Amino acid sequence: MEIHCYAAMKEKARLKEFTYEPMPLAPFDIDIEITHCGVCHSDIHLIDNDWQLSEYPLVPGHEIVGTVTDVGVGVMAFEKGERVGVGWQSGACYHCDYCMRGDHNLCPDIKATCMGNYGGFADMIRTDSRFAFAIPEQIESENAAPLLCGGITVYNPLRSFDVEPHMKVGVIGIGGLGHLALQFARAFGCKVTAFSTSPDKEDEARNLGAHYFIPLTEKGALEKAAGTLNFIISTVHVDMDWPAVLNVLKPKGKLCLVGAVANPLVIPAFSLILQQKSVVGSPIGGRMAMREMFQLAARHGIKAQTEAVPMTDVNTAVDRTRQGKARYRMVLKN
């Protein structure tokens, strides 16, 4: 079997057609005929070798939706013809303390769908069924694909840092991650505040679930919001006035980073000590978290807002994502 895909042959290169033979079908593997694959900022970082971990040829793609076309002898969860999704993680050791607790996303032996493996900018993928997830019928494949990485990235912190319905939650950055975070925080029952440097996103942010909108372009905007929120998810990749952001938190509040800011955060110790605040981070989510996320999304009509293009236009989708022009996630369609 030959898999047809799109690969970067070197750092920052345009993607080109590429084919490969998959490894033999292992007992827990499934084959997925890919219908949709989201384009995530991490794909761009991999293509550009921003993390100095990329190996070429590199086939990006880790927001995969498609149909099961073959199953290994050990696969009990899926049958041929079922619609499934696969996100960033494609494997774990299954026996470390973290895996045993269900925190597979924290496994030291985490395997990634498109690092060390060829990913989902392709017509097929052969992958471990234990990291494939059934997609509720209420969610269209195009809107489901970005939930597999973008969605779980913002759902998991709400869940694992015990955000409760009475709380007030802020979302910094209304883009690929932020537009999903607003929807999930609203579904949790929270009062939701959107922070954005684009004042023109106010109406959209409110439609997505924000009760309040704070334009970061306004001088003193953070100061005015001081002491109002219990939990803030920051999705941005750029530097912020972090002490001012921490000042927006109530006592015991948490600032959770899911956007990978390049520069170290400079935070005065007293901004954490006096009101017992914390700065935390969160990577994707475990297998159960993924299942819960899809259930919540189906129940509350949460979906990614997408711009779909044919898989053959992969470089257009990559460019729009790299330039931050997608509203809000690009999805490739076969």
The site for Zn ion (CB under 5 A) is made up of: 40, 42, 92-93, 96, 99, 107, 149
> Strand, helix or coil at 70?
strand
The answer to whether 284 and 149 have CB atoms below 8 angstroms apart is yes
Residue 127 pairs in a beta bridge with: 30
Closest CB 38 distance from Zn ion, rounded Å: 8
Q: Which is nearer to Zn ion, 25 or 93 (CB)?
A: 93
Cβ 47 to Zn ion, closest distance in Å? 13
Q: How far is the CB of 63 from Zn ion (least distance, A)?
A: 7
Nearer CB in complex with Zn ion: 26/96: 96
Q: Closer CB to Zn ion, residue 153 or residue 193?
A: 153
CB of 93 to Zn ion, least distance (A): 4
Q: Which is nearer to Zn ion, 104 or 159 (CB)?
A: 104
Cα–Cα distance, 171 to 158 (Å, whole number): 11
Helix boundaries (H) for 60-198: 97-100, 141-144, 150-160, 178-187
Nearer to Zn ion, 178 or 253 (CB): 178
Angle CA 21–66–181, to nearest 5: 120
| Cα angle 5, 330, 323; round to 5 | 105
- Closest approach of Zn ion to the CB of residue 161, in Å: 20
CA distance 104 to 316: 34
